[in-house]
Chains A and B, each alone.
Chain A
């Protein structure tokens, strides 16, 4: 069965501190993993995907198949990073994307 677990509902850090949002997944095949972000009063949008191995807004995420994890990291958090972050997984066919419960990141000044 497909499952995405984000264990933290809320993560609060100070500006300039490192941040790590955890994501673990369960999937029998080879997954495609994404991080989506929703800023206040904005639509849900893609932040990054594992296959492109890129850094967006200073965020990176590495797929660890051994630990079935796809944690999102940023070395120095900014206030504008405050948002809701969802880890998501697409199945082999690509049409079924499921979301984790989400982690609200709050970056304090």
Chain B
């Protein structure tokens, strides 16, 4: 299995809602990532988990809360989002290290209303 699976594919939520995005990989990768991609823009790194520990937080607002329950799963908990948070949220995984390929999921298209 060489895929990163993200659920749901689409999500519409109100500004007072709480929701979670899920990501799963079974390649044994030790690094997992959340990226945010706005329309016609490149992916922007949000969080990096290495060996299930948060190693990078790119100054992301606290209304985004990542969680790595185990080495195969990565969640992104959402609360009190703003309309400008609407974007494609990409999960990726890799072995870690400099020369390693990142495998990307298809993304969750999030719309905040």
List chain A positions with a Cβ less than 8 A from chain B: 32, 34, 43-46, 49, 51-52, 86, 90-102
Contact = CB atoms under 8 A, between A and B. Distances in A.
A103 to B, nearest CB: 11
A24 B13 CA distance: 39
Contact of A44 (B31, B48, B104): B104
B78 to A, nearest CB: 21
Nearest to B49: A95
Contacts of B105: 43
A97 B55 CA distance: 13
Contacts of A34: 101
12 contacts: A43-B105, A43-B106, A43-B107, A52-B99, A93-B98, A94-B96, A95-B56, A96-B56, A98-B45, A99-B43, A100-B42, A101-B42
A91 B99 CA distance: 10
Given A45-B103, A46-B102, 14 more contacts: A34-B101, A43-B104, A43-B105, A46-B101, A49-B99, A49-B101, A52-B99, A86-B42, A94-B100, A95-B50, A95-B96, A96-B48, A99-B43, A99-B44
B5 to A, nearest CB: 11
B98 A92 contact: yes
A38 to B, nearest CB: 9
A52 B101 CA distance: 11
Contacts of A32: 98-99
A91 B59 CA distance: 18
Contacts of B76: none
Contacts of A44: 43, 90, 104
